[in-house]
Structure 1
Amino acid sequence: MMTTATATNAATATARTPVAERPAADDWGALATQLDAHGHALTRQLLTPDECGEIAALYDRAELFRATIDMARYRFGSGEYRYFTHELPRSVEELRAALYPLLLPIARDWAGRLGKPAPWPDTLQEWLAMCHAAGQNRSAQILLRYGPGDWNALHRDVFGDMLFPLQVVIGLDAPGVDYTGGEFLMTEQRPRAQTRGSATVLPQGHGLVFTTRDRPVASRRGWSNGPMRHGVSPVHSGWRHTLGLVFHDAA
């Protein structure tokens, strides 16, 4: 478990690095290996506790969001989340732009193994322009808030036909301090085998890279789709905020 001193030192080191440069400091070879094996991988700290608090506090500023979703109303679980407008907070915009080129080689590699098209250009702006031309022009960046008893049902994200296969969720509160419970859940439907599940505690400021829908799985006949779902276990106490970074816009 990370000690208070270790966490403070890590936050200090993170704060000294511009937000846009932080993702590149990670070991993306190791992250790619984890994604291949499990469909998800935990990054180093991308945001300091102060930066996390600033983003979480934006939740109450309704003018920053295009829509608010009551999860219980749609039987998605319990809790609430909001979609940002295209006018993203600077740190959110910088992180998204910095992560895309690092995720791109993994996305292209996965598409090649599965024999699927890899339509993603080298820059995020080019890709978003393609999304908009196809009618997907709504922001899909999400700020989520869970209170005691809230949870998120297992699901696969559907935003439209123009899909980037990886996304990132960043924990904005300290688990075990600001809230208890609320683990990030993933399940994998394995070929001719029972479903495998995992639970990840999101350290404050760290990102979890995970597959939007599937990952390539080796089989006797080559590579096949491994369908995966994600969700959140019930929060037992406190409040849990997370930032969801999606690399395509929604229909």
Structure 2
Amino acid sequence: MGAWISTWPAGPGDAELPVLLCLPPAGAGCHQFRSWIPALTGIAQVHGVQLPGRENRWREPMPDTLGEAVEAVAGELRPIVGAGRRLVVFGHSFGGLLGYELARRVTPDALVVSGCRAPGHWDGAGRGIVDDADELDKLFDTAGLDPAFLDEDTRALMVAMLRKDAVLSLSYTHTPGDPVPAPVHAWRARGDETVTADDMAGWAAVTSRGFRLHHVEGGHHAVLRRPEPLLAHLTGLLRDGTPAAAPVG
């Protein structure tokens, strides 16, 4: 099996910097977060979580359950973080759910999620992607992709990855327990038709250290498409735990 956490080339002293761990949305790989490195040079070391079935792990089988995936990531993360290194976990959409379950096992200094239902709102999420072609096309539309303009091979690869992650999400049942002892920051795009305001507000129930809800304009993936406000926010959390000013709803 390949590594669950992608570690990109680091400069001198980066091994002592805080860690930003990024978890991508369903159907995507983590290498998109490599483009964030210039904005965070000297501030944090950026790592990405790579599930099997995509990019450099295309031929590897998916785990049977979401819990199995989270345990594997947690096992690799502990030695990376080491004693005393600040850790901020960021996850978008399905990646936010993975990030939450990871935060229950390896307590970060902050958990940041975007476009992601609160854990108690995930029951059955993803079923439409598995069973319904129309629902799958709606997801392409949400992502700003027109299937008509994708070549057949590219669309088939994307569909395969989306369905693998959707099946994995269906293995998830939220088991309430102790709140995460870390602040939770949730970002929602006002034009997101996938995740409701109530879905996002539910994150307040999973933390004992404070909750803030931030709003931006745009659709489901707006935060990733225009990441500058989020990156400023993450910079503050990584430096000293004080987020930079951000839109608050």
TM-score, structure 1 normalization:
0.27
Higher relative CO (Cα under 8 Å, sequence separation at least 6) belongs to 1
More helix by share: 2
TM-score, structure 2 normalization:
0.27
